[in-house]
């Protein structure tokens, strides 16, 4: 595809499901910016060629990065921002002077919905920790770890336990803070006996489980604390089995579109030099759900 307009892209494999072109296109139209944002399917063995060709194009402003490239693309960058360094994952590449610079805007995308007043975590006695559980071990899980490690007593879970252990170590946590999915369940205050209150307050699915064609996250939400927030980064489908189960139990939920829009807003300003019109989020969400 050729164009005489500045453009940015989202890359991944697969990529047809991505809603990023709709989000960025909506903002470009709303602001009257004469530029494009489009999807580009890039296989694992084509990443180097993709970057080489795009960096030679003065119209290319950069790209967002989705599966399976968030970890591997980091090593191709001229420099990384601190969050990309902390996570080892890049979801936004910005072209400057013909060189690629890597950023992680997923962290901002996670924190924005959690920081809304309706998602505040209650106050508890000093001996009670507030817990967060992150499922997954890829780039999205690393972003969740960076976002949550300073706020919560954090644990990681993964289908392959070694991946969760490795991620726990990345954030300075002991090995036993990384576990297999068979251990996933509500965290119990060790000072209280069986059947007493559980203190898991944020459960984040940062894995592909729950995506169309993938198995659901194997967790029973019945015993989780009543003010638990269930945050599912999956957005295809938007109503995952995990979120449906959480809503049926009256738990607070954050869906994948909330994170997707929040992280996209940071990247948009990097690409096109203007903040997106977030006062039109409701209209944007309607279009995303149409």
Packing angle between helix 256-272 and helix 106-114, nearest 10 degrees? Answer: 130
Distance CA 54, CA 58 (A): 8
Report CA 208 to chain centroid distance, whole Å: 11
Nearest Cα to 135, choosing from 244, 39, 210?
Answer: 210
Q: What's the chain's Rg over C-alpha atoms?
A: 19
Distance CA 15, CA 11 (A): 7
How many helices and strands in the chain, by DSSP H and E? 9, 12
Neighbours of 35 (CB within 10 A): 18
The terminus-to-terminus CA distance of the chain in angstroms comes to 27
Q: Tell me which residue has tokens 């002991």.
A: 174
Distance CA 5, CA 256 (A): 30
Query: Which two three-digit tokens encode residue 131?
Result: 């817990």
Distance CA 154, CA 74 (A): 25
Is 19 part of the annotated catalytic residue set? no
Q: Considering 5, 19, 70, 183, which one is annotated as catalytic?
A: 70
Which residues does the annotation mark as catalytic? 70
């Amino acid at each position: 595809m050729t164009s005489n307009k500045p453009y940015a892209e989202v890359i991944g494999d697969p990529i047809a499901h991505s809603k990023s072109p709709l989000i960025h296109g909506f903002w470009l139209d709303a602001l009257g910016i004469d530029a494009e944002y489009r999807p580009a399917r890039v296989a694992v063995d084509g990443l180097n060629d993709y970057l080489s060709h795009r960096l030679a194009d003065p119209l290319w402003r950069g790209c967002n990065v989705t599966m399976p490239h968030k970890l591997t693309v980091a090593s191709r960058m001229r420099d990384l921002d601190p969050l990309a360094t902390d996570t080892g994952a890049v979801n936004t590449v910005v072209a400057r002077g013909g060189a690629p610079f890597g950023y992680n805007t997923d962290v901002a995308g996670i924190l924005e919905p959690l920081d809304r007043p309706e998602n505040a975590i209650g106050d508890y006695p000093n001996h009670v920790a507030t817990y967060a559980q992150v499922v997954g071990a890829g780039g999205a899980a690393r972003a969740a770890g960076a976002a949550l490690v300073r706020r919560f007593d954090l644990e990681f879970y993964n289908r392959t336990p070694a991946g969760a252990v490795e991620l726990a170590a990345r954030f300075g946590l002991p090995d036993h803070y990384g576990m297999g999915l068979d251990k996933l369940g509500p965290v119990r205050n060790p000072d209280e006996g069986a059947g007493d209150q559980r203190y898991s307050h944020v459960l984040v699915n940062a894995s592909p489980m729950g995506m169309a064609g993938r198995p659901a996250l194997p967790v029973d939400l019945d015993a989780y604390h009543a003010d638990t927030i269930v945050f599912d980064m999956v957005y295809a489908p938007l109503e995952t089995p995990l979120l449906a189960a959480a809503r049926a139990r009256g738990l607070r939920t954050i869906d994948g579109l909330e994170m997707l829009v929040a992280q996209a807003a940071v990247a948009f300003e990097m690409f096109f030099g203007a903040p997106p019109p977030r006062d039109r989020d409701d209209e944007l969400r309607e279009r995303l759900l149409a």
